Amino acid sequence: MKENIIETTLMAGDLKVAIIFSRFNELIVSKLYGGAKEAFIRHEGKVENITTVYVPGCFEIPLAAQMLARKKEYDAILCLGAVIRGSTSHYDFVAGETAKGISKVALDESTPVIFGVLTTENIEQAIERAGTKMGNKGYECMMSAIEMGRLMKKMKENQ
Ligand code: INI
């Protein structure tokens, strides 16, 4: 019997993506953003197919993601931010609510909403994940956005 496998290429091509840029810890998030755009362009995406929305902090990401998802114009939404424990006493609330909100929007709106939010103990760990020794989480998460955007298109075609 033939196995049925549904998977996709990692070609951005004509995909339309929205990036939510959370300005808190902007020094780090701007590096994630650079990585995300680089991943999209290097996989043959078009810069005019990227829409960027700026929000003040990660806590505001879910609402912006919900508004974008409801427009039904984007194949994937990539959320970029950095929550750093060292610099806040309400780390757990911000990190937890951001994660919960992002996953809720993805499920409620049947849209890939990708969690490109660093949650680290300190600034050093954030720097390591923003283009130094642990790679660039923004780049990696854009690859997830491309794969999920393509996958959703393919699964809709197969329905
Ligand atoms: N927002 C972040 O994105 N990262 C943080 O580390 C952070 N800290 O440290 O508090 C943070 N706080 C702001 C929060 O996201 C909201 O913007 C604010 O509470 C207004 O709702």
**Start-to-end Cα distance in the chain:** 21
Under 8 Å between Cβ of 101 and 58? no
pLDDT, tens digit, 9 for 90 and up, residues 72-110: 999 999 999 999 998 667 888 999 999 999 999 999 999
Q: Which residues line ligand 1 (CB under 6 A)?
A: 22, 24-25, 56-60, 81-84, 87-88, 90, 94
Residue type, 77: I
For residues 96, 40, 18, 28, the Cα torsion angle rounded to the nearest 10 degrees is 40
How high is the pLDDT of residue 88? 64
Tell me the best of 79, 83, 84 to mutate to test the pocket of ligand 1, counting ligand atoms within 8 Å of each CB and taking the most.
Answer: 83
d(CA 101, CA 6): 28
Mean predicted lDDT score pLDDT of the chain:
96
Tokens of 136: 């660039």
pLDDT, tens digit, 9 for 90 and up, residues 50-59: 999 999 999 9
Query: 22 to each of 52, 78, 115, 133, how far by Cα in Å?
Result: 10, 11, 12, 23
User: Apex CA 151: angle with CA 147 and CA 154, to 5°?
Assistant: 145
pLDDT, tens digit, 9 for 90 and up, residues 124-149: 999 999 999 999 999 999 999 999 99
